[in-house]
Amino acid sequence: MAKINPLLGKGTGKVGAFLLQVNSGVQILKEKPVKVANPNTDAQVEQRAKLKLMSQLAADLAQSIAFPKKGLVSSRNAFISANIGKCTFNEGKAEITLTDIELAGGSGNLPAPAVGQNNALALSAAAPADVNAVVYAAYQRGGDNQLLLIDQKIVSEAGADNTFPTTMTMPDSSYVVYVYGVKNNGKASVIEYMDYVAILSSGFAQLEAIRSIVVKGGSLTATTALEHGSH
């Protein structure tokens, strides 16, 4: 906004991309508001569909999200930011490959999980030497990429082969298992849970508070996953 030289008078109206107005006896020049001819462009429709999908998944996966908070950026928002670029948009619908979802925002490699007899679950190969705990989260897959938590465990006993074996409650239908490791960085790590309430409103799942995993005194590996069956 810029003031106009009084010698130009006290006129009002349009000057190119600007408006002339008089405010408290002072003539001012300001940019005209830009009118969006079509607020429902293809790009905007696509972005809204992706945000809706990520909001739903953030609610579904809230108990397993472990992104570190950064200032005012919550774990949930960090999760959405990290994963929305993996969404595709086809025939008016946003989709994401469930095994591509990142829950921890860490780095490095962790072997994928493998399910054996009697729901015995373990990493398919030895974990890196600096991983001292592994988080397993098993979700049953529903329609439209919806996920229902079946079982979740934090395993701190590596076992003789360093594959962190455990047993989980697994459904007979399709499911996905997410895994990430916790590195203690030379000091004790503390894993805490925060409570959350998920509210579905106007087609969007909103979190009033977050029940997510918070890791203190350690860092996280990148998420690895196994999907069984299809929908």
Secondary structure in 3-state letters for 11-60: CCEEECCEEEEEECCEEEEEECCCCCCCCCCHHHHHHHHHHHHHHHHHHH
Model pLDDT for residues 50-83, shown as the tens digit of each residue: 999 999 999 899 889 998 877 777 888 899 999 9
Q: What is the pTM of this model?
A: 0.74
CB 111 within 8 A of CB 123: yes
Q: Which of 163, 154, 222, 225 is nearest to 190 (CA)?
A: 154
Higher-pLDDT residue of 15, 100: 100
In this structure, how many other beta carbons lie within 10 angstroms of the beta carbon of residue 185? Answer: 12
Model pLDDT for residues 28-52, shown as the tens digit of each residue: 656 656 565 666 788 899 999 999 9
The confidence score (pLDDT) of residue 8 equals: 47
Q: Which two three-digit tokens encode residue 33?
A: 């508001």
Say which residues have a Cβ less than 8 Å from residue 34's Cβ, sequence separation at least 6. none
The confidence score (pLDDT) of residue 142 equals: 82
Farthest-apart Cα atoms in the chain, separation: 89
Whole-angstrom distance, CA of residue 31 vs CA of residue 34:
9
Cβ-count burial of 74 within 10 angstroms (0-12 exposed, 13-18 middle, 19+ buried)?
Answer: middle
CB 18 within 8 A of CB 31: yes
Sign of torsion, CA 198 201 204 208?
negative
CB 215 within 8 A of CB 66: yes
| 23 — pLDDT class (breaks 50, 70, 90) | low
